[in-house]
Homo-oligomer: A and B are copies of this chain.
Amino acid sequence: MEAFRIHNPTQIIFGKAQIAYLGSEMRKDGLQNCILIAGGGSIRKNGAYDQVINSLNQAGIRYTEAWGVQANPRLDKTRQIIDQAREFGAEAVLAVGGGSVIDTAKAVAAGMYLKDIWNAFIGKEIIKQALPLYTVLTLSGTGSEMNGNAVITNTNTHQKWGITSQFIYPRLSIIDPSLQYTLSFKQTANGAMDAISHILEFYFANERALSTLAINEALLQTITAMTDRLQKDPEDYVARANLAWSASLALNGLTGFGMNSGDWACHAIEHALSALHPEISHGEGLAVIFPAWIEYLSEKDPSRFQRWAKRVWDEDNIAQGVRRFRAKLQSWGLASSLRDLSIKPDELSQIVDIIMLNPNIGGVFKLSKEDLRLLLMLAY
């Protein structure tokens, strides 16, 4: 285990009907207004919007609303909201939604202090401050409610890239698992796969971080079992709550402790897929890529993958573990090949080129252009 730092300043308020505290918490922090960022309208159906507005009004917090953030959130939309926030004189950013909304809100919070927010993604400007950020989570998976990461897509350049900064951790995130009752099972399963993938990006990185490995196995098992329960009953509160909390832990620092920053090749590959095809959901892209990545690498370096097969799937054999993993994802209705995602064979080399825009693929297991080509064939 190498030297490691962890500092997660986000406050979490977790449970039913906890949105009521939002306004008074913002007041305590000395705020008088915010820009509320949202997606396409699901927060009107699940009740989050009304609860948020009530709480803001009761605390006397003024707000302007910015709607229309899409899945795989876009740079042009982010820039537009930054303009709106400046015009309004926003003192804080409030995200009400899932990971795309929260990621957009983070980019807005930091972008207020930059010439252009995209500069932060490509390393041309450094984030040194940001507006205070509050979130109300309505879809668990990305973990964005409890970390300092954001991913935005530049549709002009096909770059789906990320920023990481201590300044964009939410100050407060409210997680009411009952808001997720109205999600389709497909959305729930996509979120679960996203959380699983965050854990797996770290899991194979260091065989000696035994406490982290054991915690990660506990979370992988819990997420899988809770998703199975939600497939039967979407209003199973215990399953919603445990899945939501596991997804927050999956990318809040805990699962990466002692893990040398993780691998992240699968995320880079998936980001290329959905940069080219924005209709592909992040979770579904990962469901295709991750089993193929394990299959591909386990032939080269089996020892790390054997523990995973044994502890997570109770299988002595890696191939059998991969088979169980794929079968579980299929049972949740997720795609299991690039073909399922309607990728054309002649797009594969273009996908490899997009991945190689950032040529440093795989923090633990470096992947060459040839590795990527073979891996995508395996996933096809």
Q: Which 8 A-B pairs have the closest CB atoms?
A: A3-B15, A214-B218, A7-B11, A218-B218, A211-B242, A210-B242, A211-B246, A6-B12
Indicate whether A42 reaches chain B with its CB closer than 8 angstroms: no
Task: Closest B residue to A225 by CB, please name it.
Answer: B210
Complex alpha-carbon distance, A58 and B249, angstroms: 37
Task: Closest B residue to A245 by CB, please name it.
Answer: B211
Indicate whether A208 reaches chain B with its CB closer than 8 angstroms: yes
Indicate whether A238 reaches chain B with its CB closer than 8 angstroms: yes
Nearest-neighbour CB distance to chain B for A21, whole angstroms, equals 9
Complex alpha-carbon distance, A216 and B163, angstroms: 32
Complex alpha-carbon distance, A2 and B5, angstroms: 31
Nearest-neighbour CB distance to chain B for A370, whole angstroms, equals 35
Complex alpha-carbon distance, A212 and B222, angstroms: 9
- Whether B210 and A215, one on each chain, are in contact in the complex, defined by CB atoms closer than 8 angstroms, is no
- Whether B11 and A5, one on each chain, are in contact in the complex, defined by CB atoms closer than 8 angstroms, is yes
Interface code A270-291, partner B: CB below 8 Å = 1, 0 otherwise?
A: 0000000000000000000000
Task: Closest B residue to A171 by CB, please name it.
Answer: B7
Nearest-neighbour CB distance to chain B for A198, whole angstroms, equals 14
- Whether A15 and B4, one on each chain, are in contact in the complex, defined by CB atoms closer than 8 angstroms, is yes
A14 proximity list for chain B (CB < 8 A): 1, 3-6, 257-258
Oligomer copy total: 2
- Whether B219 and A214, one on each chain, are in contact in the complex, defined by CB atoms closer than 8 angstroms, is yes
Chain B CB within 10 Å, residue with most, of A9, A13, A17, A242 = A242
Complex alpha-carbon distance, A2 and B242, angstroms: 12
Task: Closest B residue to A243 by CB, please name it.
Answer: B211
- Whether B219 and A215, one on each chain, are in contact in the complex, defined by CB atoms closer than 8 angstroms, is yes
A201 proximity list for chain B (CB < 8 A): none
Contacts A3-B17, A209-B242 aside, 5 further interface pairs with beta carbons under 8 A come to: A1-B14, A208-B238, A210-B222, A211-B246, A214-B219
A222 proximity list for chain B (CB < 8 A): 210-211, 214
Complex alpha-carbon distance, A215 and B255, angstroms: 11
- Whether B210 and A214, one on each chain, are in contact in the complex, defined by CB atoms closer than 8 angstroms, is no
Interface code A184-210, partner B: CB below 8 Å = 1, 0 otherwise?
A: 000000000000000000000000111
Nearest-neighbour CB distance to chain B for A336, whole angstroms, equals 27
Indicate whether A80 reaches chain B with its CB closer than 8 angstroms: no
Indicate whether A217 reaches chain B with its CB closer than 8 angstroms: yes
Indicate whether A86 reaches chain B with its CB closer than 8 angstroms: no
Task: Closest B residue to A3 by CB, please name it.
Answer: B15
